[in-house]
Amino acid sequence: MVAVAADDMGATLREARRNVFHLTAAQAILGVVGPICFSIGGVAGYQLLAQDKSLATAPLTAFNVGMALGVVLVAMLSRLIGRRFAFMTGTGIAATGAALAAVALFRESFWLFAFALAMLGSSNGFTQKLRFAAADASPSFYKPKAISLILGGGIVSAVLGPQIVIFAGDLFAPVAFAGAFVVLLPICLIAAFFFAPLRLPEPGAMAKDHHDQVVRPLGAIVRNQRFATGMVCGISSYALMTFMMTGAPVEMVVGCGFSTELATLGIQWHVLAMFAPSFFTGWLISRFGAERIVGCGLLLLMACAAVAHMGIELWNFWGALVLLGLGWNFGFIGSTAIVASSYRPQEADKVQAFHDIILFTTVALSSFASGKVLSAYGWDMLNAVVWPVTIVCLVLLLLLKRVPRNAAA
């Protein structure tokens, strides 16, 4: 019996690793959508707007609103047509959004550009689901590593996305940036080939496999201290990252006179810092605990604010963006692991949908607020916002340490 159980566990682990490989490749390809949009969105928005420059980041707000809608759409499609085909649908949405963005730039249409970025954001909502799909298809001891490996695919995105902007952005000069979206179109479609071989547990199957366990109401799960702390820390890490990352390119190009290329390279270093640690973040979580890793992430976000506040030289921006990426990685992956440990398999879909709707709605508001705060109060105020949010999260983590781990679910 022990040998049979070991064989079953070995087969499950091999299948999980196979899924993680394909999902990581898809993440690496589809992940370029974010760096391209954030490198271009605010600057292009500023150039397309004739009046009220404070709305320059509205296309990036639309991107984040699209993400919030995308996580709802992918949950619905997963139940209707299965996760594999739902993810493949997301690649089609991404390609359509890229085509519309290019058209908007040719027509100099600000609001069409914002709509196109909303579509690209919606496809990114599908991409965000990949980490949960990997976790759901993995044994409990492999979940943190699966999550971190999926996000590790972002290293390719971090290099590829900004390079597409730099080398293809002026492909259709004098129409700036249109070339980047034209190149993005076929890249998005390539990701569909990595979804085809997936074998993922469908939403209904997980419930059947655990039919003997009670399915708790969503309200009861949300009120659980472990879930609530993980969600607040994860949302705060992501929202602060978006808040600073959205404003940084605009401040560098418009406020300080740096070139678009230097701003784009800053985003590249930032995205590399976001995803490069992912290959060992899972091990760190297993070794030291998710709570400690989240705490380290919050301290790195504080360090980001401190470096940004020290001046407006190129090293201040790039250094702050690197620290911002590292802080996001530890804060968000650690928080995701906390959240994933707070619900049962048959509760996964409703909890994940609730979590991501709140997450990306907050992120959308943070990107919109970034433009408003930058326009009204300047770069230093963006940095100052980091401090109270991270302090509240650190207090919540300290309170969580008093709660027994087995009380989570």
pLDDT of residue 144: 72
pLDDT of residue 4: 44
The two structure tokens encoding residue 182: 């034209």
Q: What is the 3-state secondary structure (H, E, C) of 313-367?
A: CHHHHHHHHHHHHHHHHHHHHHHHHHHHCCCCHHHHHHHHHHHHHHHHHHHHHHH
pLDDT of residue 166: 86
Interatomic CA distance for residues 59 and 240, integer angstroms: 18
The two structure tokens encoding residue 330: 């530890």
Interatomic CA distance for residues 314 and 396, integer angstroms: 35
pLDDT of residue 276: 83
Task: Give the DSSP H/E element, type plus range, for residue 81.
Answer: helix 58-81
The reported pTM is: 0.75
Count of all residues that appear for the chain in the document = 409
- Angle value at C-alpha 166, between 160 and 172, nearest 5 degrees: 115
Instruction: List phi, psi (to 5°) of 101.
Output: -65, -40
Interatomic CA distance for residues 323 and 299, integer angstroms: 10
3-state secondary structure of 173: coil
Interatomic CA distance for residues 72 and 402, integer angstroms: 34
Q: What is the pLDDT of residues 1-37, one digit of tens each?
A: 445 455 556 677 788 888 888 888 898 899 899 889 9
Interatomic CA distance for residues 300 and 350, integer angstroms: 32
Q: Would you write out the chain's pLDDT as a tens digit for each of its 409 residues?
A: 445 455 556 677 788 888 888 888 898 899 899 889 988 887 888 777 656 676 777 888 899 889 888 888 988 898 888 888 999 999 999 999 999 999 999 998 888 999 999 999 999 888 888 877 887 777 777 777 787 778 778 788 878 888 898 889 888 988 888 999 999 999 988 888 898 888 777 655 555 555 556 788 888 888 899 999 999 999 999 999 999 998 898 899 888 999 988 998 898 899 889 888 877 887 898 899 999 999 999 999 999 999 999 999 999 999 999 999 999 999 998 998 899 888 887 787 788 778 888 888 898 889 889 888 988 899 999 999 999 999 999 999 999 877 665 544 5
Interatomic CA distance for residues 120 and 91, integer angstroms: 9
- Number of CB atoms found within 10 A of residue 196's CB: 11
The two structure tokens encoding residue 149: 């490996």
Cβ proximity of 243 and 382 under 8 Å: yes
Q: Please give the single-letter amino acid code of residue 335.
A: S
pLDDT of residue 244: 94
pLDDT of residue 324: 97
Interatomic CA distance for residues 279 and 171, integer angstroms: 35
pLDDT of residue 1: 46
pLDDT of residue 202: 63
Q: What is the 3-state secondary structure (H, E, C) of 262-286?
A: HHHHHHHHHHHHHHCCHHHHHHHHH
Q: What is the pLDDT of residues 123-179, one digit of tens each?
A: 988 888 887 788 777 777 777 778 777 877 878 887 888 889 888 988 898 888 899
pLDDT of residue 7: 52
Could you give the C-alpha distances from 375 to 48, 53, 242, in angstroms and in order? 16, 8, 16
Closest residue by Cα to residue 67 from 337, 355, 332: 355
